[in-house]
Chain A
Amino acid sequence: MNLGSPSLLDWVEYYRQHSTSSKNERVSDFYRHGVINPATSIGQAPMVAMDFETTGLSSADSEIVSIGLVPFDLKRIYCGESRHWIVKPEQDMTEDSIVIHGITHSNVDAAPPLANILDQVLDAIEGKLVVVHYRYIEREFFNKAVLGLLQEPLLFPLIDTMEIESDILKGRQGFFDKILRKPLKPIRLDYCRRRYNLPHYDAHNALTDAIATAELLQAQIAHHLNPDMPVKDLWA
Chain B
Amino acid sequence: MASDKHFDEVTGTETTGHVWDGDLRELNKPLPKWWLYVLYACIVWSIGYWAVYPAWPTMSDYTKGYWNYSQRAAVTQEVADAKAAQDKYRVALSQTPLADVGKNPELLQFALAGGQATFGENCAACHGRGAQGGVGYPNLNDDDWIWGGQLDNIQQTISYGIRSGHAKTRDSAMPRFGLDGALDAAKIGDVANYVRSLSGLEADKTAAGRGAAVFAENCAVCHGADGKGNQELGAPNLTDGIWLYGNGQENVVTSISTGRGGIMPAWDARLDPVSVKMLAVYVHSLGGGK
Chain B associates with chain A: no
**What residues make up the interface of A, taking CB atoms closer than 8 Å to B?**
none
